[in-house]
A and B are shown apart, each in its own frame.
Chain A
Amino acid sequence: MRSFELICPAGNPAALRAAVDAGADAVYLGFRDETNARNFPGLNFSREDLAEGIAYAHARRVEVYVAINTYPQAGNLAPWHRAVDDAARLKADAVILADLGLLDYASRTHPGLRLHLSVQASAANAEAIRLYRDAFGVRRVVLPRVLTLPEIAQLNSEVEVETEVFVFGGLCPMAEGRCSLSSYATGLSPNRQGVCSPASHVRYEPRGKALASRLGDFTINVFGEGEQAGYPTLCKGRFVSGDSTAYLFEEPTSLNAMDLLPELKAAKVHALKIEGRQRGKAYIAHVVASYRKALDAFDKGMAVPKIDLEAVVEGGAQTTGAYKRAWR
């Protein structure tokens, strides 16, 4: 009996196979359009890709979850309805949804379809989770990355649905699904178009020996000579307030909760999620295999091996994020 389900990202069919082969219990993915929150050029799945991916995964007893987790556009619900219908038709094991209207549609139209609540719905308390369970029969909730371990434990003692938490990858310091920072700077929205700090609006400007990174009309960072220039994700930028220039919201860093497996188990978390649908198959294979190794050791009651993931984390820096109260 495994302590946790390991939920892994797949941005394309090759990444799906890499995740399955490296030991995922389930992979999550999205269609190639604005219906999912990782709507990046060259990523995601056609209907045919999904059918093949599901066949590959199911043959190896791995589940496939389809994220349809943006907020449908007023007056144009059809693409989102079609995404839910196709996921159901192709026998996805669950759909991951955020929008109330879409949850209502899915629960009425496909009563047998397993519904997970996306992190984009930002359900951070037991009352909110009860609403999603009672109204739509949601079976699992992906918790926003704003909760401490004691808060997660308390929540799991009160709700009857499974909870899934992020353990590795990019870290949103804001409550997900409630952030319009990217939309303010670029006009493209995580909630509406499924993109945050989109590459189409990124520019790098040499300034003498320095390099500025810009998003839309705004400078997000300026890197000195010899400093490694990172991607200008808005909330990981350097800004000026008062007299100080600093990473005001969050340093360029990745979440890594591998050291917290005992605490996550004690908190009765059901599933652990790795972030990174925009990542290549080598990254996916490495991170998933590392977590598989750690979880297998944990399941056998052995000490979790020290696994160095530093080479694949953003800016070479790792954090346990909101799980520890001091992060706040």
Chain B
Amino acid sequence: MTSNQPARLSLGPVLFNWPVDRWRDFYFRIADEAAVDVVVVGEIVCNKRAPFIAPALDEVIGRLSAAGKEVWLASPILVASNRERTAMHDLVDCTDFAIEANDMGALMLLEGRRHAVGPFINTYNEATLGWLARRGAVTVSLPAELPAESVEVLAKAGGETGLAVEVQVFGRAPLAISARCYHARAHGLHKDGCQFVCGNDPNGMPVRTMDGQPFLAVNGTQTMSHSYLCLAAELDRLQAMGVRQFRLSPHDLDMIRIIRTFRDVLEGKRDGRGTVKDLEAIIEGPVSNGFFHNAAGAVYVDAAD
């Protein structure tokens, strides 16, 4: 049973195309200053970007590990081309590191090996969770669109099998993945000659409706929410359900301060609801928690009980 274990904070992989120096510096700061227990690293959105971070990867993993962080390497979300498949095999076969699988192909290669299941593998119910646990999964990160009622059932089922269930509590919600690059398309380019225009938007490219209402954010082949998913006000309820691991998705923001805020709420030093306005000020944009409250994902539901 995991019920008496302390809550852990994890940091998901950087989903955006940041210059390698910025990417490395970000993780060095996380290693030195951030109160996270787990750090998930790797390029999971676009295989074309993977060579950019490759030169700094060993250094980053070393620094994070030396700082006492548990490091996981994440597998890509969508694996179709031979190049993507080769990268997936290299990741799973050639590293001793713990892997977070984000595609069923990676999961197949990890059979019998201790591994994590990322939020891009569809874990919607306890039968799927049990099947994943029997195959060696030790952590399962739930899809962002799951409502509280499902999270509760899954946290309980995870507790019974000794598996940790993780919930994303901060960051733009990943909404879709495609073989097509929308960043390139918006710039009149094709994926093959994309000129890496996704690098212009360190938090994703804003997508508005024709009425000017902010709606989505494009990150290469990925589509995300405009609003930042934020479950700070729900942390107490999540803990009461038995969720013990909480994931923040990195953005080009003061992540150290954001992580500190969530840590303070977990440790009872701050009230979760009271922090939401502070977080909105850091983000300079709206937050949302609708998925958790069984509403449209884009809305923010005041979690007053």
| CB–CB B124/A187 < 8 A | no
A181 x B80 contact (CB < 8 A): no
How big is chain B's contact interface, by range?
A: 35 or more
Residue of B nearest to A98 (CB): B122
- Contact A183 to B297, CB < 8 A, known contacts A221-B210, A239-B216, A240-B207: yes
Q: How far is the CB of A17 from chain B (nearest CB, A)?
A: 34
Q: Is A263 an interface residue (CB 8 A)?
A: no
CB-CB < 8 A to A218: which residues of B? 209, 213, 215, 298
Q: Which residues of B contact A (CB under 8 A)?
A: 77-82, 84-85, 88, 103-109, 120, 122, 124-132, 143-146, 149-154, 157, 173-182, 185-186, 190-192, 205-213, 215-216, 218, 223, 225, 290-291, 294-299
List of B residues within 8 angstroms of A132 by Cβ: 104
Q: Are B176 and A99 in contact, with the CB atoms below 8 A?
A: no
* Contact present for B104 and A123 (CB under 8 Å): yes
B105 touches A178 (CB 8 A): no
Taking each of B130, B176, B180, B207, which has the highest tally of chain A beta carbons within 10 Å of its own beta carbon?
Answer: B176
A241 touches B296 (CB 8 A): no
A74-B150, A75-B126, A101-B126 are contacts. A241–B206 as well, Cβ < 8 Å? yes
CB contact under 8 A between A187 and B290, given known A77-B127, A124-B78, A328-B179: yes
Report whether B154 and A74 are in contact in the complex, using a CB–CB cutoff of 8 Å.
yes
When the two chains form their complex, are residues B215 and A174 in contact, meaning their CB atoms are under 8 A apart?
A: no
- The answer, yes or no, to whether A266 is at the interface (CB within 8 Å) is no
Interface residue A309 (Cβ < 8 Å from any Cβ of B): no
Secondary structure at the B interface, as helix, strand, loop or mixed, is: mixed
For B210, what are the chain A residues with a Cβ–Cβ distance below 8 Å? 212, 219, 221-222, 238-240, 245
Residue A6 is within 8 A (CB to CB) of chain B in the complex: no
B-contacting 9-mer, from A25-33, A55-63, A146-154: A146-154
Please determine whether A74 and B153 come into contact, CB atoms closer than 8 angstroms: yes
Q: Does A139 contact B (CB under 8 A)?
A: no
Answer whether residue A189 sits at the interface, using C-beta atoms and an 8 A cutoff: yes
Question: What residues of A have a CB within 8 angstroms of the CB of B108 in the complex?
Answer: 127-128, 130-131, 134
**A325 to B193, alpha carbons, bound, how many Å?**
12
Chain B residues near A245 (CB-CB < 8 A): 210
From known contacts A123-B104, A191-B124, infer whether A239 and B207 are also in contact, taking CB-CB under 8 Å. yes
Q: Please give the distance in Å from A243's CB to the nearest CB on chain B.
A: 10
Contacts of A206-224 to chain B: CB distance below 8 A: 212, 216-222
Which chain A residues in 98-125 approach chain B with CB under 8 Å?
Answer: 98-102, 104-105, 121-125
Across chains A and B, which 10 residue pairs bring their CB atoms closest together, nearest first?
A101-B127, A127-B105, A146-B179, A131-B108, A128-B104, A71-B124, A184-B297, A74-B153, A101-B128, A74-B150
With contacts A177-B122, A183-B291 known, is A326 near B177, CB below 8 A? no
CB–CB A241/B109 < 8 A = no
Q: C-beta contact mask, A175-189 vs B, less than 8 Å → 1, else 0?
A: 101111101111101
How distant is the Cα of A77 from the Cα of B157 in the complex, in angstroms?
Answer: 14
CB pair A326–B190 under 8 Å, yes or no, is yes
Contact residue among A105, A151, A173 (Cβ-Cβ distance under 8 Å from B127): A105
CB-defined contacts of B223 to chain A, threshold 8 Å: 174, 181, 249
